[in-house]
């Protein structure tokens, strides 16, 4: 997995990393401090069609990652709760989805959500 960052923001990859504050190798936004791989961001840029959509998708992934991180820590100068961090990333994802070029919302719990509609669906498996 590759990590690159260009602080001139001359590529969509660099802009997306900047939006995520994922700009230092080994000090990423995931609970274990990993960064988004370049390959993942580039795939999201392709599938989402914009840096705004890719940023929203990354924040959605971070929300999921932090939600499954059960640890809460309290240090001398700070404290955090994995579930609370997850909620913050969810709000950020929603904010980025609401921007122009943010794309449709990701499916959640059997509900398809778009910027203009909500449709419940069922499937027989």
Q: What φ, ψ does residue 40 adopt, rounded to 5°?
A: -70, -45
pLDDT digits (tens, 9 = 90+) for 52-94: 999 999 999 999 999 887 666 555 566 667 888 999 999 999 9
Contacts for 84 with CB less than 8 Å, ≥ 6 apart: none
* Best CA proximity match to 31, nearest among 73, 2, 3: 73
- Give this prediction's pTM: 0.76
DSSP string computed for 75-105: -SS-EEEHHHHHHHHHHHHHHHHHSTT--PP
């Amino acid at each position: 997995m590759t990590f690159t960052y260009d602080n001139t923001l001359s590529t969509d990859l660099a802009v997306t990393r900047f939006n995520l504050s994922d700009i230092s190798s080994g000090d990423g936004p995931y609970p274990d401090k990993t960064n988004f791989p370049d390959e993942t961001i580039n795939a999201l840029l392709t599938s989402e069609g914009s840096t705004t959509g890719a940023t929203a998708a990354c924040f959605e992934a971070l929300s999921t990652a932090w939600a499954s991180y059960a640890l809460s820590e309290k240090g001398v100068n700070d404290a955090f709760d994995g579930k609370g961090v997850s909620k913050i990333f969810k709000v950020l994802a929603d904010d980025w989805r609401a921007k122009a070029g943010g794309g449709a919302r990701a499916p959640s719990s059997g509900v398809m959500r778009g910027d203009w509609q909500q449709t419940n669906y069922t499937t027989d498996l």
